Chain A
Amino acid sequence: MENQVKTSTENKEQQLKKLSKMTMIRSLLPIAGLIIIFLMFNALTNFRMMNNLPLVLSQVYVTMISATGVFFIMTMGGLDFSQGSILGIASIVVCMVSKTSIPLAIVAGVAAGAAIGAINGYFYVYRKIKSFIVTICTMFLFRGFIKYLTTNAPVAGSAMLINFDSTELKLACTLVVLIVGFILFRFTKFGTYLKAVGAGEKAAMFSGIRTDRMKFLIYTLAGAITGFAAFINVIKVGSVTSSGGNQLETQILIALVLGGMPISGGAKVRFENIIVGSLLYIVLNSGLTMMGFTTQMMQLIQGVVFLIFVAVFADRQSLQVIK
């Protein structure tokens, strides 16, 4: 009997050791991957990537900002496929309003994004439709709007916008969003509540969290953040075509998963997932471009990499809670 008890505690310790080792590997793998892929592409392209770093990074800002909002959504176990369309619509709004006033254009972009986010939230929370169904619907709906608005010609912004196109400003905006997001997530009840909703919504409700209101607000917030990213997008591209913001949602999803985020959200998510993941995605993407792969070939490679990462990071115990 004594022996049995002893072996059972030993087993338990071993199991826990194994578990924490797994967690370590999971959190280190994306960072190691980022470094390895970065070095690899540099070696393969004669350090062209290192030399073009500002150019490479210029692609990361929009993804990284929008990914912050989606990170919150995914933490509580939801998904959002409408981010590309949100970016497109918000960019068109920014372009249009920028002819009147640029500060107003930023506000209008945020408002447009928040409005679409609120529509997502309304149908998801109050009409009780699964989030991926709702957001796939709004993705098509607003892509239709974008195509309609850009039928004759791309929507161009004010010529003044180009003056804002500096690495410093874009970097500063990105940092502000990330830092505010990090503090909210890590050092206020907001983060714990989000993780609780993702890990067990009913129990979260019974702990006093107003889960419905929270979910609605998060979708609105994610829309607003992407609306803000639209400004960064517009100062870079100047005008919006019918494909404006196309596939942003996939980029974000791939980036977060590459960053080590469990696709079902919950307590195992880490804020670093956004940063590491976005960088990893952009390095992979630019690296493949620099090596001269065709777009089709790149999609194929991305698909394979994405699948491998999902397989590694999927938390199979809580997969059923994707909402």
Chain B
Amino acid sequence: MRDRPTARIVLAVVFFSLLAAPLVLKRWRTRGETANAAIGASAALSRYGFYLSEIAESSGAKFTHQAPTLDAKLGHIMPQVASMGAGVSIADFDRDGWADIYVTNSGEGSKNALYRNLSDGSFKDVAAEMGVADLNEAGSGVSMGAVWGDYDNDGYEDLFVYKWGRPELFHNDAGKRFTRVTEQAKLPAWVNANTALWFDYDRDGRLDLFLGGYYAEDVDLWHLKTTKMMPESFEYARNGGRKYLFHNLGAGSFEEVSEKLGIDTRRWALAVTAGDLRGTGYPDLFIANDYGISELFFNDGKRFREVGKQTGVGFSPKSGMNASMADVLNQGKYAIYVSNISEEGVLIQGNNLWVPREGTAGDSLQFDNLAREMNVEIGGWSFGAQFGDLNNDGTLDLYLVNGYVSGDRNTNYWYDFSKIAGGNSTIISDAAHWPSMDGRSLSGYQQKRVWLNDGAGRFVNVAQAVGVGDVHDGRAVAMVDLWNRGVLDVVVANQRGPLLIYKNTVAPENKWIGFELEGTASNRSAIGAEVRVFWDGKQQVQQITGGGGFCSQNERRLHFGLGIDPHVEKAEIRWPSGKIQVINKPSPGQTYKIKEAA
């Protein structure tokens, strides 16, 4: 090596500067978040335009999720196997004009809850009297989540509960009682499902049902024939549960058509969402899979095509646990948010925000992951997420829950977890080979994220500042205007933890508009209907979904924040039937109840 002292000094300076660069970058990246500490309601209102107050227990919704106790052969890793089942779904089941809350429980013999909204700020659990509480009896499996949809178009939202066990369909008898119609609907006897979705894939005016298996359906987690039931790989597993697509034939009858229509996958599905990504009128289907890549199925009406790789969303295998769509950039296009695992110093998968690439559309649609650029990448061991305009400023914000297993504090199972996760399939797929958890935490006690969309392509976490300081093991999130105030409240279901209801207080200068749709030619729930609001030179599209996020479902009513002193040009409704209805110059500050025109 030449003796060039000056060059060597310069090289050394550059070298050590480069080593310091990550620390500088981190500081720059987290700019603006230094103020993310509890600052009180009035300061949060003036600074961010909203504040969340947790009121579940005081409002009568005192609910604590219980986890199942599975086969003793899984005893050494029970907390991580029995780590799901806290779900929350919103519907106005009795059509009294006030949104109600259905919450799933998962302990054997535990009860699900249906909190009727009494409109005075309190709730009453009516699940038992309505016949939808006792779904976790021994031998039938336990609940994982639920989705509402009016499958028979009688005007009342029916309830589908998916389980690790026997899935159940309940017909809503005019809001007075639910009747179990599982056999009539010809649902399978046992599915270990963690996700389901109502959508009208063929636009025939009747809601169809997608059901996604997690563990293989021949596994009874309470009576294991073998401990070789774990994923065969941490990233490439294809030994999960099958998928079901139940085509609604009418009269309460369904036909399973998944394979016939091209949905044939055994990846470990944890979340599903649907939306018309190409403007064809047909809802495309997105599945977030644990232990592998996500899958996107383009829906041609009579056939589904898997296009994950082609569109860019199915390239890098991660641990998909959430799927939600939203027009995050007010461009009139849906982005898809997928949550994954990020644990500092261990595993940085990063969450994905798949944004449609400019200039691509139709069958050549491509997505780019802009989670990092938009600062919604790192959550923790992330689960459910929902978009909604929490401060009514005209942009969609993002609420994300994190935390997997909160065991003994200051203990950590990550080392053992990573050891086994890197192993050969013969090792990882057998639960007997997994080291004992011994009460240790695995990404436990994690902070949540409330990411405020600045409208310029960047989100800032304000969770602590706006009152979200809980560190429960969050699972499902639902957004709903519980008291018809023109603001979005947030309901969170926690694993082995309490149900949380965050009541939102929003700065009054920010205006809003709402839409409550009812289909006629389309399915009566109007699931799949889109509303596009144009105001002040901006636009935003939202759709009614039949499930989304992780084990959750938002209210059917669509809520748009509009900001200060808005001038709304029009609202354009596109029904699943293809009909378009336009409301010119709608007034902010009210909910429009629109029936599909004949």
Question: Are chains A and B native binding partners rather than an unrelated pairing?
Answer: no
